[in-house]
C-alpha cells in the first residue's frame, strides 16, 4: 500500500473541492492511503512537493489547483512556472500526477474539476499511481 500526498493550491476552494474528491476517490479505489496539504497558490505547489520528497514519508504525489486566465500576463507566469517546477521534479524521478488546471474561464474549470465530468483530479491521481508503478518496475 502506497502513501500518496495530495498538494493542493486552495485559491479556488469550490473548484478544489471537486478536484480533491476525484483524486481521493481514485487513490482509495486503488487501495492506497493519502494525506492532503494545502498551499496558498499554484506557484507554491512544486515547493511543497519538493519539501515532502525530502521527508521520505510519501511514495507519490498529486498536484491539484486551478489557474484561470485573467486580464494580465500573470496567468502565463503562474501556469508556466508551476508546470516547470512539477516537471523538474518528475524528471528527477518523483512520481507526480499533475492536476493543475489552466483554463480560460470558470466554466471550463468546473467541467474539468467535476468528478462526474472531466475528473481531472481523478486523472491526476491515476497518473501518479501509474508513475509509481513504473518507478517500482525500473527499480527491480
Q: What percent of the chain has pLDDT over 90?
A: 94
Answer yes or no: is 19 within a domain.
yes
Answer yes or no: is 20 within a domain.
yes
Does the structure show a pLDDT above 90 at 35?
yes
Tens of pLDDT, residue by residue over 5-18, are 999 999 899 999 99
- Catalytic amino acids? 74
Answer yes or no: is 3 within a domain.
no
Answer yes or no: is 62 within a domain.
yes
Tens of pLDDT, residue by residue over 70-93, are 888 888 999 999 999 999 999 999
Number of domains, the chain: 1
Q: What percent of the chain has pLDDT over 70?
A: 100
CATH number at residue 27: 3.40.50.960
Answer yes or no: is 4 within a domain.
no
124 vs 69, 70, 111, CA distance in Å? 21, 24, 15
> What pLDDT score does 21 carry?
98
Answer yes or no: is 140 within a domain.
no
| Segments forming the whole domain that contains residue 120 | 12-135
Amino acid at each position: 500500500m502506497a502513501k500518496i500526498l495530495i498538494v493542493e493550491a486552495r485559491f479556488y476552494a469550490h473548484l478544489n473541492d471537486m478536484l480533491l474528491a476525484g483524486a481521493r476517490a481514485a487513490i482509495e479505489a486503488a487501495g492506497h492511503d493519502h494525506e492532503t496539504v494545502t498551499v496558498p497558490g499554484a506557484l507554491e505547489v512544486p515547493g511543497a512537493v519538493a519539501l515532502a520528497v525530502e521527508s521520505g514519508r510519501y511514495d507519490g504525489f498529486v498536484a491539484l489547483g486551478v489557474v484561470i486566465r485573467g486580464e494580465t500576463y500573470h496567468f502565463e507566469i503562474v501556469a508556466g512556472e508551476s508546470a516547470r517546477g512539477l516537471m523538474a521534479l518528475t524528471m528527477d524521478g518523483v512520481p507526480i500526477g499533475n492536476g493543475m488546471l489552466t483554463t480560460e474561464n470558470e466554466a471550463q474549470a468546473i467541467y474539468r474539476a467535476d468528478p462526474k465530468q472531466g475528473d481531472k483530479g481523478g486523472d491526476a491521481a491515476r497518473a501518479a499511481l501509474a508513475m509509481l508503478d513504473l518507478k517500482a518496475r525500473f527499480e527491480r
